[in-house]
Structure 1
Amino acid sequence: MGPLKRFLPKGLFARSMLIFVLPVMMMQALIAWAFFEEHWETVTSRLSEGVAGDVAMMTLLFEQVGEDETAFAPYARNARETMRLDVDFRPGDTLPTSRRTSFFRTLDRTLRRALTAQIDKPVWFDTTRYPNYVDIRVQTETGVLRYIAYRERVFATTGHIFILWLLGATAILTLISVIFIRNQVKPIRRLADAAEQFGRGQDADWFKPAGAREVRQAAHAFLEMRRRIQRHIDQRTGLLAGVSHDLRTPLTRLKLHLALMPEGPDREEARRDVSEMEQMLEEYLTFARGEAGEETQVTDLSALVAEAVADAGRTGARIDLKAAGAVEAAVRPGMVKRAVANLVANAAAHGDRVAVSLRRAGSRIEILVDDDGPGIPPERYEEAFKPFSRLDDSRNQNRSGVGLGLAIARDVARSHGGDVTLSQSPMGGLRASLSIPGG
């Protein structure tokens, strides 16, 4: 079964069609085989044997009367009227040397077997020249007896009607299966679309449970899960708003006290501590806030990346931006800009030069951030995405922050149905690739 899986359809609709249609087709094929092998071929054999017997009898009568065509004429007339068999004697003629084979070889095989069993003379026949007749010729000592028999006397001509009925029934059953299976698959597809949209942070208010009982049950479970997650997000957002307000108030008072203090080394150290505390607070809140509060909209990512690079360039970082045409996608622009800014800031903190580029890769959009810094060992790529991870000293020299930049960037990318991956940069340092759907 293993090698066969590669050839099986992957979609639910195609697999359901295979489950319904394949047994019907196999059953129809078995019925057709049984019909042709047991019934149709048997009837055809009986008919061919009957015509072969008439031909043998007329040949024997002709040999008994000799070449007296006048004496043979009554027999030929009776054969035409009673046996529907036309007889014509061709003196001095010989049998043709070429023969055309019927598309249904069973017809020729059955007639040949019947003729050779009852006639001990050379026989030739053609079942293809005339649509409604069969041409049979028997070699005699003085010439050729040519017989023209009606086709329905030689073969069972209703076999094609049976085949048409089988094909028609299969087509009707397939059409009915397509209609019903499509109606069953559509709610599952809608549920998948709603789950994907919700996973990207988009509203899926259009979704309503439909379909079979099991599908409706899964849809209701999804809606309940969505309500619980949304309630959790709302509660977390409210909590973060309160925490932000409560923590910013004492920080503001500390800044005021520092501003009133006389100049001196202690004041500068305290100011740096307060600034670092405020930056850490912002990073904590940004990481915890996640995707709450921003709506999805079609955005020009080229302009968005340029803005993020320009903001990072104000800090003195050397950043090269590979310009690209307008690349639009449905994203939450504030979050994507924050993710790109984090990746650029991370690269600028660890390297002297940074290169940022935007490109399409099939149905996805990739934002590449390269640096010429010390890089990260490949076995520690995933560890770099853990919140508060700082890795080794080679990537932490003169580094501020709490180790949430990559974690926030990956969280943003995955909320859009994408991801952030790390690899070795062509510049010798680290490459961070932010990939999101481009549809």
Structure 2
Amino acid sequence: MPLSTRLHIPPALKRLLPTSLFGRSLLIIILPVAVMQIAVTWAFFDAHWQSVTSKLSEGLAGDIAWAVQSYEDDPSPAAVEKLAKRAEDSMSLSIAFQKGRKLPTSRRPSLFAALDRSLQQALDDRLDNPFWFDTTRYTAYIDIRVQVKDGVLQIYALRDRAYATQGHIFILWMVVATMLLTAIAILFIRNQVRAIERLADAADAFGRGEDHDFKPHGAREVRKAARAFLAMRARIVRHIEQRTALLASVSHDLRTPLTRLKLEMAMAEPCEQLEAMKGDLAEMEHMIDEYLAFARGEGGEEARAVDLSELIEGVVADAERGGAVVETEIAAGLEARVRPLAFRRALANLVDNGVAHADHVKVTATARQTGGVEIAVDDDGPGIPEDRYEEAFKPFSRLDESRNQNEKGVGLGLAIARDMARGLGGDLMLSRSAMGGLRALIRLPG
């Protein structure tokens, strides 16, 4: 069995990962840098700083042990004064004897507990007397006190005698370097992602039938994809133009004999066969118009912001002039970016489809909470089985025992309506209507 090379990521961790290309690219670069910086910092503290600090603490503890031993050998005031002067001159230690004093019983916690542990260990190894120290009270000094006979020997030592005080400089440089590398990574990644975003915008605009001034730029692979997209767009446009020109030519060629036949039948004696022939000619003319409308699609018409209420009312008025009764419920002030003629044709197809198969039809137009508008055409007809909704959208599809089949239909009404909606960045969906029949719902972006 072949082994899968795909890395399995737990669902909980996957939800925390960024979803955008920019975020993922940034994570790919920053995560290894952060891990490396942490590893280097840890190695520095463990192998260098901690080692140096331990040696410094041992040296300081040795000097303090010498001072305590010297005091215990001769605790006279003159000897203590001599000891303090020698420690100050040669060891930078400030020593004072506090007669009758005791060691403090508490100590304030330090932010650098590891450093305090080093000093604690060093003093434990060198001193037999009880001791106490504080590294937080003074910025540059450490307060160390040792219990001796008749009092406490208080010693002030420079902080750099016990700790490697330059460690924070190293950490600062690490942080600055990390921030600089992150800023450079963000700049370069953002430039690369912007090229992909522009390519996506151009593809989206082309899908809506809009012109988009797009030029390949970015990385070599992105430019290659962009040039392939431009070539594909040119081929698709050329194909659409050829198809439209072909069907327009066929439509024009067919209209000429149809017109002659209509003139001849208009001059002929009325009879039953003549009326049937006129019906056939009307059906042929309607089919030609439908084919041409489907082939023409959205070409030649620019999308623009329009008042949908006026367009919808116009479609409903046309249907009512044909004898239909259509109820409307249209919210005020509805606007959307559409191609007016294509929108009227698509909505008229849906309304006519409902009128042909139902007794009651209702058109509802509302604004969506998330932005955009919804236009619903409901009826109380027989509807379409749910498992055949997608089949109904196929061009030239005429479902048996369904509302999509009528005397003069060619199975293009729903296909034209969905192409119109998707060409504007929306969609057309079918569902069961609350009236008992079919609901055709057009969703358009704002």
* Normalised TM-score (structure 2): 0.93
How far 1:97 moved relative to its partner?
1.9
**Which of the residues 223, 227, 236 maps onto 2:234?**
227
1:191-230 matched pairs, under 5 angstroms: 191-204=199-212, 206-230=213-237
| Counterpart for residue 341 of structure 1 | 348
SS at structure 1 position matched to 2:355: helix
SS at structure 2 position matched to 1:125: strand
Cα deviation, 1:136-194, whole Å, max 9, x if unaligned, reads: 11122322221111111111111111011001111111111111112222221111111
Aligned residues: 436
Is 1:184 equivalent to 2:192 in the alignment? yes
Is 1:75 equivalent to 2:83 in the alignment? yes
Is 1:243 equivalent to 2:261 in the alignment? no
Structure 1 counterpart of 2:285, one-letter code: E
Which ranges of structure 1 fall in alignment gaps of 5 or more residues? none
How far 1:40 moved relative to its partner?
0.3
How far 1:361 moved relative to its partner?
4.8
More displaced stretch, 194-203 vs 268-277:
268-277
- How many angstroms apart in 1 are the aligned matches of 2:404 and 2:166? 87
How far 1:398 moved relative to its partner?
6.0
- How many angstroms apart in 1 are the aligned matches of 2:269 and 2:23? 78
- How many angstroms apart in 2 are the aligned matches of 1:269 and 1:128? 108
**Is the alpha carbon distance of 1:291 and 1:69 closer, same or farther for their aligned partners in structure 2, counting shifts above 3 Å?**
same
How far 1:329 moved relative to its partner?
3.1
1:364-375 matched pairs, under 5 angstroms: 364-375=372-383
How far 1:342 moved relative to its partner?
1.3
**Is the alpha carbon distance of 1:415 and 1:81 closer, same or farther for their aligned partners in structure 2, counting shifts above 3 Å?**
same
Cα deviation, 1:333-368, whole Å, max 9, x if unaligned, reads: 211221122122222222222222223252443222
1:382-421 matched pairs, under 5 angstroms: 382-395=390-403, 400-421=408-429
1:355–1:369 contact (8 Å) kept in structure 2: yes
Instruction: Indicate the RMSD between aligned Cα atoms, in angstroms.
Output: 1.8
Is 1:175 equivalent to 2:183 in the alignment? yes
Is 1:140 equivalent to 2:148 in the alignment? yes
1:237–1:289 contact (8 Å) kept in structure 2: yes
**Is the alpha carbon distance of 1:20 and 1:396 closer, same or farther for their aligned partners in structure 2, counting shifts above 3 Å?**
closer
| Counterpart for residue 385 of structure 2 | 377
Where does structure 1 differ by over 6 angstroms across 4 or more consecutive aligned residues?
none
**Is the alpha carbon distance of 1:423 and 1:85 closer, same or farther for their aligned partners in structure 2, counting shifts above 3 Å?**
same
1:245-264 matched pairs, under 5 angstroms: 245-264=252-271
How far 1:34 moved relative to its partner?
0.2
How far 1:70 moved relative to its partner?
2.4
* Normalised TM-score (structure 1): 0.94
Cα deviation, 1:119-140, whole Å, max 9, x if unaligned, reads: 1222211111111111111122
**Is the alpha carbon distance of 1:228 and 1:100 closer, same or farther for their aligned partners in structure 2, counting shifts above 3 Å?**
same
1:101–1:108 contact (8 Å) kept in structure 2: no
2:58–2:122 contact (8 Å) kept in structure 1: yes
- How many angstroms apart in 2 are the aligned matches of 1:139 and 1:21? 53
Cα deviation, 1:244-265, whole Å, max 9, x if unaligned, reads: 2111112222221222223332
| Counterpart for residue 307 of structure 2 | 300
**Is the alpha carbon distance of 1:337 and 1:207 closer, same or farther for their aligned partners in structure 2, counting shifts above 3 Å?**
same
1:344-355 matched pairs, under 5 angstroms: 344-355=351-362
- How many angstroms apart in 1 are the aligned matches of 2:195 and 2:403? 50
1:248-327 matched pairs, under 5 angstroms: 248-327=255-334
- How many angstroms apart in 1 are the aligned matches of 2:326 and 2:16? 49
